[in-house]
Amino acid sequence: MARVAFLSAGAWTTELVGCARPAAFVGRSASVRRAARSPLSAPSAAAAAAAAAAAGRGGGTRRHLVTASPPLRMGLVDDVTARMKVAMKAKDADTLRVLRNMRAAFLTAEKETGAGTLDDAAAVACLKRLVKQRNQSIEMYEKGGRTDLAESEKFELALIETYLPSTADEATTRAWVEAAIAAVGATKPGDVGKVMGGVMKAHRAEVDGALVKKIAGELLSA
């Protein structure tokens, strides 16, 4: 699946292509082709890559309009809030539901930290937690034969991931893990924590922590 933008009358509209519309949403209000009313920047390659990676788990060929347009040049929290307004005007209930969940996660984090607002790094951390939760839910629902609920979670996951920076591939991550093993002198499986600490300290925004742990465990068990 890819996040594709179309320019019409000076405004951008975007679609997630290749993501099946969850069965749980069939019969609800149809998506409306409506663009944001202000000029926007083109979608980033990172956003498209994230959506494409997420779609590999969702299957399907139907196209669903995402009224959350390409990222504005503003903070992530403000961007999500702005997209909520666009989704409300477009009457896109599915996208609005996901954006509201994202906004709720931001508000919870703000209350926990006592911060007036979250910077982009903290907002990304919130979204990564949501991604982890969605992946766990998808696995649980698929094991339980609830494909309708799994598809709903996949739809939400795909949209959340378009707001996250792209992460390093497995080959790059493996190289960083190997460098960390050498740097901390790790020799046994019990040193996985030390290795993860080294990698995450240097590349926290660039790597998938679960992948780092997996590779470290493999290398230290060999």
pLDDT value, residue 74: 66
48 and 133 fall within a common domain = yes
Task: Give the global pTM.
Answer: 0.54
Residue where one domain finishes, among candidates 136, 161, 186: 161
pLDDT value, residue 85: 94
87 and 139 fall within a common domain = yes
> Is 5 in a helix, a strand, or coil?
strand
Round to whole Å and give the CA distance between 89 and 68: 11
178 and 150 fall within a common domain = no
Using CA atoms of 210, 216, 218, 222 in order, give the dihedral in degrees to the nearest 10.
-170
12 and 30 fall within a common domain = yes
141 and 55 fall within a common domain = yes
10 and 114 fall within a common domain = yes
Q: Report the candidate in 84, 67, 55 with the shortest Cα–Cα distance to residue 155.
A: 55
Domain total of the chain: 2
Residue where one domain finishes, among candidates 138, 161, 184: 161
85 and 175 fall within a common domain = no
> Tens place of pLDDT for every residue, the chain, 222 residues?
434 333 333 333 444 434 444 444 333 333 333 333 333 333 344 444 444 444 444 444 333 444 444 444 468 899 999 999 999 999 999 999 999 999 999 999 988 888 777 888 888 888 989 998 999 999 999 999 999 999 999 999 999 988 888 888 899 999 999 999 999 999 999 999 999 999 988 887 788 888 899 999 999 997
203 and 153 fall within a common domain = no
133 and 194 fall within a common domain = no
Q: Report the candidate in 201, 199, 205, 203 with the shortest Cα–Cα distance to residue 219.
A: 199
148 and 181 fall within a common domain = no
111 and 141 fall within a common domain = yes
CATH of the domain at 202: 1.10.10.410
pLDDT value, residue 214: 92
CA distances from 178 to 187, 194, 198, 209, 222 (A): 11, 12, 11, 15, 13
Q: How are strands ordered across the β-sheet holding 2-8?
A: 2-8, 11-17, 63-66
156 and 213 fall within a common domain = no
Q: Which domain holds residue 85?
A: 2-161
Q: CB within 8 A of 25, min separation 6: which ones?
A: 93, 94, 152, 155
CATH of the domain at 55: 1.10.1510.10
50-65: burial string, b at 16+ Cβ within 10 Å, e else: bbbebbebbebeebbb
Tokens of residue 54, six digits: 């997420």
Residue where one domain finishes, among candidates 144, 161, 178: 161
